[in-house]
Amino acid sequence: MPSRPSSVLLLTIGATLVVALAGIVALGVSAGVHPAHIAIISWLILAYGISGLIAWRLRPASRLGPLMVLAGAGALVGALSWIGGDGVAHTVGQAVDVLPLVLFVHVFLTYPSGRLRGRPERLIVVTGWVAALGGQLAAMLLGGLQPHRMTVLDRPGLAVAVYNAELAVVSAVALAGVVLLVVRRRTSGRPLRRSLSLLVDSFAVGLVMIAVLLVVGVLGGPAFPVVQRISLALLGVAPIAFLAGLLQARLARSAVGDLVVALRGDPADLRTPIALALRDPSLDLLYWLPRFGTWADQQGRRVTPPADPARITPIDDEGSPLAALVHDPALRDEPALLAAVTAAAAIALRTGRLQAQLRANLEELRGSRARVVAAEQRERQRLERDLHDGAQQRLVALSLSLGVLQTRLGADPEAAALLTEARTEIAVSLAELRDLARGLHPAVVSDHGLAVAVESLAARAPVPVRLTVDLPGRVGEAIEVAAYYVVCESLANIGKHAQATAATVEVSRTGDDLVVEVVDDGVGGADTERGTGLRGLADRVEALDGMLRVWTPSGGGTRVRADLPCG
C-alpha cells in the first residue's frame, strides 16, 4: 500500500497553487477579464486542487487525489492565456486551454481508484488527450488562436476547421463518458449509498455540461459566455460532492464509538447498528458455521455469498473465519472505516455466530424430527396394510372355513363346541388386530377425514364423550393424523388413569391453526414427564411446528390442548 504523502509536501503543493492562483487573478484583473469569469475559474482551480489534496492525504492508495490536483493545475495553466501579448506564458495557456476539460473527464471516469480500468475508459480518455493537445497545437501551428509565436503555416481557415473539429471530438468524448456512466449504472445498479449516488450523478451532469459548452463553442454566438460560465460553475460541484463524501466517511469513523455502545447492549439484531455505522442500508451479515461447513444468515438459514469480492469483507477470529459483511462495493474505498467497524463488531459477532449456530442446530433438529416422524408414519402405514391385507384376511378366511367344517360335521356336539370356541378366538384375534392396525395408522383418517375418525374414537371411548367438531374442510394428512393421535391417546389415558365419568373433545379451525382440546373430570395429576404417551404426542405435534400443552391439577381433571399450524 502506498505510503501517506507528507504534510509538508501537500502544504507546499497547496501553497504553490494558491499563490499561483493569486498571481493569475491579478493578471486577469489587469487584463480586463470579466470578474465573473475570473471567479468561476478560481472556483474550479480551488475546488479540484484542495479536494484533490485532501483525497490524496486520506486515500493515498487511490490516484484520484493527485489526478484532481492535476486537473486543478491544468485549469490554472490554461488561465495563463489571460496574459496579453504573444509571450511564452500566453502561448502555453493557449496550448492547454481545452486540456482541463479532458482532465475533468479523466477524473470522472476513473473514480474511485483514479485508474483506467477497461478498454472503453482508455479509448475515451486517450482520444480526449490527443484531441485536446494535438488539435490545439495543430490549430496554433496553422495560425489559429492568435496571438502566439507558434505559427508555421498561415492558414487561418484550416486552423478554424481544425479547432472546431477538436472541440467536436472532445465534446463527443464527454458524451461517450456519459454513456459509459449510464452503462455502469445499468449493469451494476444504482449506488446503494445516497452520497455515492449524488456523486456519480454530479459526474454525469459535469460531462453533459462539458459537451454543451464545447458544442456552443463550435456554433459560437452571443450566448457562449453565459453558457461557458454556467458550465464551468457546475463542473466545480463534482469535487465538492466528492469532498463532502470524504468528510462524511471521516465523521463516520467517529460513529464507531456509538457502535461499540450499541453492541455492548447485546442487541438481537447485529446487522442494524453495523449498517448504521457503515452508512449502508444494503448491508447483510453472514456467519461461518464450521460444523456445517457453510455460511448462514442471522436466522441460521444457509446462504451463498455473492461472487463479487468487492462486496465482501471477511471477519476472522484468530485466523479462522468468523463472519462476513456483504456491503456496497463503494465501501472498499473506505478501508479505515471498514477496519474500525469490523474490529468493534468482532466480539459481538462471536456471540451472534453462536446464536446463528444454535438456530441452525434448531432448524436441523426440526428437520430431523419431521423426517423421523414422517418415516415412522410411513412404516406404520405399511404395517397397517400388511396386517389388513395379510393376517386379518387369513383369519377371516380361516373363520369361514371353520364355519363350513362345522356345518359338515353335523350333530357332533363336542366338535361343534370346539369349532365355536375356535371361531370365537379368531373373532377376538381379529378385533385385537384391527385395534392394533388402527393404532399403527388410522386408515379412517386418510379415507374419510378427521371428523369421521374422531367420531369413531368418541363412540368407542371408555367414558361418555361430548364431541364438537367444527372443520370447514380437510387439512394436510400429517396434521389430521397428529390431531387424531392427540384425541386417541388422551381418551386412552382417561380410560386407564383418570377415573373420570365424562370427557369433552373439541376440534376446530382457528385462523391458521387446527386446535384440538380434550378435557376430563377425573382426578388429574397426570405425569407429563415420565409417561411416554404424552411425550410422544408432544414430539409428534412439535415436529409439525405445533404446540402441545397439558393442564393437570391434582383433583381437578386433565386438559390437553394441541395447536397445529395448517395455514
> DSSP 3-state assignment of 469?
strand
Which has the minimum average pLDDT: 17-21, 57-61, 483-487? 57-61
- What domains, with CATH codes, occur in the chain? 7-250 (no CATH), 269-374 (no CATH), 444-565 (3.30.565.10)
CA atoms within 13 A on the CB side of 77: 18
- What percent of the chain is modeled with pLDDT above 90? 14
pLDDT digits (tens, 9 = 90+) for 232-280: 887 888 888 777 777 766 665 566 666 766 666 555 577 888 888 787 8
List, for residues 321-343, the tens digit of each pLDDT value: 878 889 887 777 677 777 778 87
Report, as an integer, the average pLDDT of 46-60.
88
Q: Are 379 and 372 in contact (CB under 8 A)?
A: no
Residue among 121, 122, 156 at smallest CA distance from 139: 156
Identify the DSSP state of 146: -
Please report the pLDDT score of residue 539 as a whole number: 78
Residue 484 Cα distances to 11, 378, 380, 560, angstroms? 84, 16, 14, 13
Task: Please give the Cα distance from 501 to 464 (Å, whole number).
Answer: 7
Q: What is the pLDDT of residue 205?
A: 74
Note the pLDDT tens digit of each residue in 426-473. Answer: 676 666 566 555 554 566 777 788 888 889 889 888 899 999 999 888
Separation between Cα atoms, residue 279 and residue 277, nearest integer Å: 6
Contact 96, 125 (CB under 8 A): no
pLDDT of 506: 94
Are 286 and 305 within 8 A, CB to CB? yes
Instruction: Return the percentage of the chain with pLDDT > 70, whole number.
Output: 74
Taken in order 191, 197, 203, 208, the sign of the CA dihedral is positive
Which tens digits make up the pLDDT trace of 98-157?
A: 898 889 889 888 887 888 888 989 999 999 999 999 999 998 999 888 788 788 888 888
Q: Which range, 163-167, 294-298, 368-372, 436-440, is most confident?
A: 163-167
Give the E-state strand segments of 272-319 in sequence order. 284-289, 294-296, 302-303, 312-317
Instruction: Tell me if the pTM is above 0.75.
Output: no
pLDDT exceeds 70 at position 363 = no
pLDDT tens digits, one per residue of 192-203: 455 555 666 667
Of 22-26, 117-121, 378-382, the least confident: 378-382
Q: How many CB atoms lie within 10 A of CB 99?
A: 22
The alpha-helical segments, DSSP class H, found in 387-449 are 392-409, 413-440, 443-448
By the 8 A CB rule, do 521 and 501 touch?
Answer: yes
Q: At a CB cut-off of 8 Å and minimum separation 6, what does 545 contact?
A: 366, 565
Residue with the bigger pLDDT between 518 and 154: it is 518
392 or 454, higher pLDDT: 454
pLDDT of residue 474: 86
Helix (H) or strand (E) holding 67: helix 64-78
* DSSP three-state, residue 103: helix
Q: State the amino acid at position 182 in one-letter form.
A: V
Query: CA-CA distance, 335 to 341, in Å (whole number)?
Result: 10
Kindly report which listed range (136-150, 349-363, 519-533) carries the lowest average pLDDT score. 349-363
Sign of the four-CA dihedral 167, 172, 177, 182: positive
Q: Which of 216-220, 315-319, 449-453 has the lowest mean pLDDT?
A: 216-220
| Ranges 378-392, 429-443, 469-483, most confident | 469-483
Task: Check residue 229 and give its pLDDT.
Answer: 77
322 vs 214, 349, 465, 494, CA distance in Å? 54, 8, 58, 53
pLDDT confidence of 46, banded at 50, 70, 90?
A: very high
**Nearest residue to 439 via CA among 377, 501, 393:** 377
Q: Report the candidate in 309, 277, 121, 308 with the shortest Cα–Cα distance to residue 203.
A: 121
| DSSP bridge pairs for 503 | 465, 520
Rounded Cα gap, residues 540 and 546, in angstroms? 9
Helix (H) or strand (E) holding 275: helix 271-278
Site of grid cell 471477519: 315
Beta-carbon contacts of residue 334 (< 8 Å; ≥ 6 apart)? 249, 252
Give me the chain's average pLDDT, please: 79
Task: Supply the pLDDT for residue 57.
Answer: 87
